[in-house]
Amino acid sequence: MRKGLIVSLALILGQSALAEFRIWHDRKGNRLEAEYICEVGGKIMLRDPEGKEYRMSLDSLSRGDQAYLQRLLPPKLDIEFDKNQDRRNVDDYYSTLDIRCSAVIEKKSRMPYDRELKAIMVVLGYRDHNNQFVVLDRSESTFKLSEKATHEFSGAVFRINEYRHYYSTNRATKYRGHVIGVLDPEGKLVAVKASSTAYAEKFAELSKCRAGESLDRSLNKIGSIRSF
């Protein structure tokens, strides 16, 4: 697996999930007004308005409170990226490069999470002759981590040409990196991993692009779909 740049969501989103005072219920019907503090060792810490703290297991809470915590606390995920390529020499002037990218998403947090997630992977190339990026591939996959702790998906195979003649080299499309993001059912970013900080910061825009679309050097969409 290739190691990419793990980007802090706090830097990208500019805020973290905020807790609030609310009424919590346990399985026995007991009520407690408290705010969520943190999760430690698979248990959650609550604090009432007087400052008293309570440590509770997730299983002891009502289903409604468990659903609330899953919305408040997205799972901690590890994302690995892989790029497989097959190079074939066509003649003395150029060769073709068939590439297929894949990702493995693994849940690292101990708390259960059974909500549906969506992963989007965008692979980028660059054309030196016109100083433009191009979306080489865009793929997505919906999944749940309630039964398995990992999810793997792959994009489509795409082909780029590698020129060896000095007159044609600058017209080649070159692989330039990737970004993978995971969204919750409300469309909030849960995790992102990219080969460049700029790609991670532009994930919201890049995730809406289609394969073949051109982007300027600031990663803004500028053109229609073209072949590589």
pLDDT tens for the chain, residues 1 to 228: 554 555 545 434 433 445 689 999 998 889 999 999 988 877 899 999 999 999 998 889 999 998 898 888 889 999 999 999 998 876 667 788 999 999 999 999 888 888 999 999 999 999 888 889 999 999 999 999 987 899 999 999 999 887 765 555 556 788 999 999 999 999 999 999 999 999 999 999 999 999 999 999 999 998 665 555
Tell which residue, 219, 226, 203, has the closest CA to residue 12.
203
Is 134 in contact with 173 (CB distance < 8 Å)?
yes
User: Which pLDDT does position 39 carry in this prediction?
Assistant: 84
User: Which pLDDT does position 12 carry in this prediction?
Assistant: 42
14 Cβ contact list (under 8 Å, min separation 6): none
User: β-strand 5-6 against 189-194: which pairing, if any?
Assistant: antiparallel
In 3-state terms, what secondary structure has residue 21? coil
User: Which pLDDT does position 168 carry in this prediction?
Assistant: 53
Largest pairwise CA distance in the chain: 78
User: Which pLDDT does position 90 carry in this prediction?
Assistant: 67
User: Which pLDDT does position 193 carry in this prediction?
Assistant: 97
User: Which pLDDT does position 15 carry in this prediction?
Assistant: 37
User: Which pLDDT does position 112 carry in this prediction?
Assistant: 85
Separation CA 215–CA 42 (nearest Å): 44
* Structural domains of the chain, with CATH: 5-13+76-215 (2.60.40.10), 22-72 (2.30.30.700)
Is 185 in contact with 202 (CB distance < 8 Å)?
no
User: Which pLDDT does position 14 carry in this prediction?
Assistant: 38
